[in-house]
Chains A and B, each alone.
Chain A
Amino acid sequence: MFDYLTSLLGDLNIIAYFIVPVPALLFVSIFTLFAVLAERKISAYMQDRYGPNRTGKGILQTVADMAKLIQKEFISPSHADRWLFELAPFIVFASVFMGYAVIPFATVYVGTDLNLGLFYFFAITSLSVIGILIAGWASHNKYTLIGAMRSAAQIVSYEIPAVLSALTVVMFAGTLSMQSIVVAQSGGIHNWYVFGGPGDVSRILMIPFMAASCLIFFIATLAETNRTPFDIPEGESEIVAGFNLEYSGMKFAFFFFAEYSQMFAVAAVLSTLFLGGWQSPFGNLIPVLNTPLFQIFWFLLKGLLIVYVQMWLRWTLPRLRVDQLMTMCWKYLIPITLIIVLIVGFYLVIR
């Protein structure tokens, strides 16, 4: 997309730098509006309720909520650290949105196809921890501080199994570029890395390990987005609302915006790594399904299905305790992923 725009604009190619992020930003805004609505409708369905059904049959409920949040007065606590309090929501959202720069929506739309795409994604999204810590500290409130501490400890811990399980795919593909990882999975559903990736018959042996790796990546990213069953940073019954307790109006909306953007970002990375990204599951059987428009369709379909599973888990599972959370990460997920990395390494050497 960037190359096309620069060839179109010629000398004015500076403009291309500003145009390329716009579709991603638009997508994130629209996605957030409808994901919040979907979350409420899905939760209502799972708990045998109606959910929002008044504002335009319920469809416009989040639009109305957004309008309300924009009009709201922004209240900042008198003891808050003024500058840091204002700064925190923007750091959190900016770091999440910067991750979208390397997500390949289709062959024609990827912000930049970095050689180090996956590494960039993990590095840049880890910055949101700083924003959360600042938010918790600057609010000058015990609950927000505890929420920020819990959140930071959780995100830092669960980054390790997420990166290690992504490493198994990188070992198979031999590249960190997101676009190349997707291209390596071409040829149909049996070539996706969750089923061992392309190769000869011996890859059947790898199916259980790669499927486990996919599952661990999903669990770890679920914890990184602070969602149930890992939502102890905002455990309402213990610490009211966590690090964003003192925020109101649009500043609060920014934290919400960041959370939903990150939900789709990690779902997109999961589908890129394990589920073939924008590849059609039918491979080259039906060539029309591989055109750019269908690529975007497959990519969004996979991403939104994973987001649906995230919401489904949120409304069916109880919250973990702090010690259970850390036990699960350090005593189960990390050793298991290390063993999977070893096995994949052995397989790639003797294959």
Chain B
Amino acid sequence: MMLENYVFYLFALVTIVSAFIVVFSKNIVHSAVALFFTLFSVSGFYVLLRADFIALTQILVYIGGILVLIIFGIMLTNKVTGAELKTRNLHFIPSVVVTGIITGMIIFLLLSTDWNPVKDPFSPNSTIKQIGFKLLGDYLLPFEIASVILLVALIGSAMYARKK
């Protein structure tokens, strides 16, 4: 379908441009706001891949949770406590090594994947039922362990935040 192609290119453009702003902006709040557009258009890709549950989880967790936390952190440190925020390059060589390895891995994945077109691109089936059965059936133990780890992190951060 033609419209889907146009929507894909639109999302791709928004993702790339806003990701560049995230990296190169001197103002850290501009970076955070650009990250909003990056994350949102990535969730658009998930919709086009028919992973509806992952798309919405991306919005709820990354934008509604993590990005709000990032913006909160920036604003509280910058404007309320008056601490100065710096955006400059630190640890040049280690970061080049790490990003180089990650880029290599992504390129390897791109080249080694067998890019078959989706067999039934308009299947109306929702993914949530299967995800639910998998999470609370086959993968119950990893799911529960992950939630216990999150609970421990929650209690730990509450402990640190308490006044001594």
Contacts and interface: CB of A to CB of B under 8 A. Distances in A.
Interface string B76-104: 10011000000000000000000000000
Interface residues of A, number: 28
Contact of A123 (B59, B68, B76, B128): B59
The 10 closest A-B pairs by CB, nearest first: A115-B126, A126-B64, A123-B60, A123-B59, A123-B56, A133-B71, A119-B56, A129-B68, A14-B3, A130-B36
Given A14-B3, A137-B75, A123 B64 contact: yes
A156 B126 contact: no
A129 B27 CA distance: 20
A120 B126 CA distance: 13
B52 A115 contact: yes
Given A115-B126, A116-B53, A129 B64 contact: yes
A344 B67 CA distance: 33
Contact of B3 (A17, A84, A115): A17
Most buried by B among A84, A116, A122: A116
A38 interface: no
A316 to B, nearest CB: 32
Contacts of B56: 116, 119-120, 123
Nearest to A145: B79
Interface in A102-140: 114-116, 119-120, 122-124, 126-127, 129-130, 133-134, 137
Q: How large is the interface on B (under 10, 10 to 19, 20 to 34, 35 or more residues)?
A: 20 to 34
A130 B68 CA distance: 7
Contact of A156 (B3, B33, B68, B80): B68
Interface of A: 14, 17, 81, 83-84, 87, 114-116, 119-120, 122-124, 126-127, 129-130, 133-134, 137, 145, 148-149, 152, 156, 159, 176
B14 interface: no
A332 B98 CA distance: 47
Contacts of A122: 60
Contacts of A115: 52, 126, 128
Interface of B: 3, 27, 29-30, 33, 36, 40, 52-53, 56-57, 59-60, 63-64, 67-68, 71-72, 75-76, 79-80, 126, 128
A124 B71 contact: no
Nearest to A134: B33
Given A84-B30, A84-B33, A176-B128, A127 B63 contact: yes
B60 A133 contact: no
B112 to A, nearest CB: 32
B63 A126 contact: yes
A159 B65 CA distance: 11
B63 A130 contact: yes
Given A127-B59, A145-B79, A116 B64 contact: no
A262 B36 CA distance: 21
Contacts of A176: 128
Contacts of A84: 29-30, 33
Contact of B75 (A81, A87, A123, A145): A145
